Amino acid sequence: MTDKELKLKSIYLRKNLLKYIYKAKAGHTGGSLSCVDTLNVLYNRVLKIDPENFRDPDRDRYIQSKGHSVEALFVTLADRGFYPESDLETLCQYQSHYIGHPTKKINGIEQNTGALGHGLPICVGEAIAAKLDKKSHRVFTLMGDGELPEGSNWEAFLAAAHYKLDNLYAILDYNKQQITGATHEVMNTDSVREKLEAFGWSVKEVDGHNLTALEEVLNNGPFEAGKPNFIIAHTIKGKGVSFMEGVMKWHHGVPSPEQYEQAQKELDQAGVLI
Amino acid sequence: MQLDVIEEKDLKMGKANQEVFSKTMEELAATDRHIIAVTSDSRGSGKLVPFGQKYPNQIVEVGIAEQNLVGVAAGLASAGKKTFAVSPACFLTARSLEQIKNDVAYSDNPVTLVGISAGVSYGTLGTTHHSLHDYAVMRAINNLIIVAPADNFETEQAVRLAAALNKPLYMRLGKKAMPFLSESNHSFELGKGRIVREGEDMAIIATGETVYPAWKAAKSLEEKYGVNAAVISMHTIKPLDTDLLDKLATKGNPIITVEEHMVNGGLGEACASYLFQKGARNPFHIMAIPDEYTVTGSQLEIFTHYGISRKGILEKSIELLKL
């Protein structure tokens, strides 16, 4: 896949996640749009995984701690061949496994997440196991900045550094907004870089919508031997749709028919310019 | 209040079940490098110091951080490790409840959660350190087996089975030395109650460290009143051995349940719920800690205060038998 094709894929994934949110009349729109570029890069350039043999013990792990942005994950996994995209027609329907958070009933999903502050501790366990077994696979998690106040994260930040888990990559989808408002106003987690460095992590910051930069960072770890890796991906909530970008109501807003058409049109136009 | 400190001479005294847990862990680890203990500054009370010295690569310390304890354990189990998360039951089943519900049970990561110094084992340390809620809370979580071994035999069997089972399981252990409760019954199967004393006149269904006072009461019933009470170690609280409950209820004889737990949502209510819905109308009583500010004292004093003793169970039996 060329870099251009990868960029077009981000457009396609955005169009698709909006399509299924619109159809299901439910979803976490803003957060899915902020993290979908990270997912695109992870699944198409970084993770060593095989949709045909997902449970290979030597696979790279990806556990989405911000489980509510599941629509971005669902469309990425479908595109990567973990299941037919038509499965997503059942999103949020009675007896569907495609619900508002990830579950292991779906091929490609490592853990049932959704309650916040759970992804990182599980990843710490996975990363310790890999070290004990002298395996070289990597363990990735995607966290939201809104979930940073969860105490379990800070317990896990300590443990990851204590066990020198340089095979662990925590990516912060730093869109700086959460359901109530601006993250620094709801609960100030500013100076996150300094906080994580003080906890013994090696930290890099990246434009979370720059695919080349994301790939460069995610594929060039560990940043420092013996330190867990923290990636602050600066993102924009609702990225890619002009009237959604940075607008609070799109945290889990569902577009009207007119808004949906407008969003798809904008994304098509963005695709033409790539 | 008179305390029953007399140990039964015809039962061979063993060790604390927690000690048997750690010894069995050492035996398992000797041939299986995937056995892992995860501790939250709890290796001392979990009797795992020798385990950690012998197998330093098979113990993961997370410090006093019980949420992380269970999350990390889930990750280790997901990666194929036979993982035992060991922490005082009071913290493990409350502080880490969401991790147990989601990361272990819902995600089906086969962690054995080992709640040590359970119930009122910590005695005078008070309610912060008691776990009188854990059966109720764990019972309300899908995909979780709940086991409370009564004696050293059951503990060893439970630990070995848990290691082999590959399923989420909560094991509740106490710190008091326990006698071997049956020299003749050496069967142990998860989900099947163990009859430690045969009897036809009534049944005393107990679990964990309360099986011993139940046994003592049954012996006194026989000696003083000629009553033969069956004593069941209902070591598996979930799934409950309903076949055995059916058998015990058949003749309409009295049934007493005994547990080191608050009356709400524990073994007794589980048995009552099943039996009542099956149409059983046996005289029935739940001996447990009532829903009140728990009296202060040692485990034995608390037990005795609430009738979880030879005398208390005997008196309740006589009442139900209308002797």
Give me the helices (H) in B13-128, please: 17-31, 49-54, 66-78, 89-92, 97-99
Average the pLDDT over A44-59 and give the result: 97
**For all residues of chain B together, what is the average pLDDT?**
97
- Does residue A1 belong to the interface with chain B, where contact is any CB pair within 8 Å? no
Tell me which chain B residue has its CA closest to the CA of residue A162: B62
Average the pLDDT over B233-239 and give the result: 98
pLDDT at position B65: 98
> Where are chain A's structural domains?
3-272
Q: What are phi and psi of B78, to 5 degrees?
A: -60, -30
Confidence of residue A110 (pLDDT cuts 50, 70, 90): very high
Q: Tell me if A127 sits within 8 A of A160, measured CB to CB.
A: yes
Across the A:B interface, residue pairs with CB atoms under 8 Å apart total 96
Asked if B78's CB is within 8 angstroms of A111's CB, the reply is yes
Asked if B78's CB is within 8 angstroms of A121's CB, the reply is no
Preferred mutation among A54, A101, A152, A167 to probe B, highest tally of B CBs within 10 A? A152
Q: What are phi and psi of B48, to 5 degrees?
A: -105, 10
pLDDT at position A96: 97
User: How many angstroms separate the CA of residue B87 from the nearest CA in chain A?
Assistant: 16
Q: Tokens 């749009």 appear where?
A: A33
- Does residue B239 belong to the interface with chain A, where contact is any CB pair within 8 Å? no
User: How many angstroms separate the CA of residue B237 from the nearest CA in chain A?
Assistant: 26
Q: Tell me if B174 sits within 8 A of B144, measured CB to CB.
A: no
Average the pLDDT over B163-169 and give the result: 97
pLDDT at position B10: 86
**For domain B14-179, which CATH number applies: 3.40.50.300, 3.40.50.970, 3.40.50.720, 3.40.50.1370?**
3.40.50.970
Element spanning B108, H or E: none
Average the pLDDT over B96-119 and give the result: 98
Summarize pLDDT for A239-274 with one digit per residue, the tens.
Answer: 999 999 999 999 999 999 999 999 999 999 999 999
What per-residue string of b and e applies to A238-264 under the rule 16 or more CB within 10 Å gives b? bbbbeebbeeeebbbbbbeeebbeebb
**For domain B194-321, which CATH number applies: 3.30.70.1150, 3.40.50.920, 3.30.360.10, 3.30.1320.10?**
3.40.50.920
pLDDT at position B90: 98
Stretch(es) of chain B classified as CATH 3.40.50.970? 14-179
Tell me which chain B residue has its CA closest to the CA of residue A129: B76
Q: How far does Cα A1 stand from its chain's mean position?
A: 21
Is the pLDDT at B6 greater than 90, yes or no? no
Q: Tell me if B259 sits within 8 A of B288, measured CB to CB.
A: yes
Q: How far does Cα A66 stand from its chain's mean position?
A: 7
Is the pLDDT at B46 greater than 90, yes or no? no
- Does residue A124 belong to the interface with chain B, where contact is any CB pair within 8 Å? yes
User: What is the dihedral sign for C-alpha B206, B212, B213, B215?
Assistant: positive
DSSP B122-154: TGGG-GGG-BSSHHHHHHTSSS-EEE---SHHH
Summarize pLDDT for A115-174 with one digit per residue, the tens.
Answer: 999 999 999 999 999 999 999 999 999 999 999 999 999 999 999 999 999 999 999 999
pLDDT at position B9: 87
Q: Collapsing DSSP states into helix, strand and coil, what is residue A231?
A: strand
Interface of B with A in 98-137 (CB under 8 A): 98-99, 102-103, 106-109
Q: Tokens 């890099």 appear where?
A: A204
- Does residue B200 belong to the interface with chain A, where contact is any CB pair within 8 Å? no
- Domain A3-272: what homologous superfamily? Thiamin diphosphate (ThDP)-binding fold, Pyr/PP domains (3.40.50.970)
Confidence of residue A31 (pLDDT cuts 50, 70, 90): very high
Confidence of residue B8 (pLDDT cuts 50, 70, 90): confident
Name the DSSP letter for residue B210.
Answer: G
Q: Tokens 């959460």 appear where?
A: A178
Confidence of residue B7 (pLDDT cuts 50, 70, 90): confident
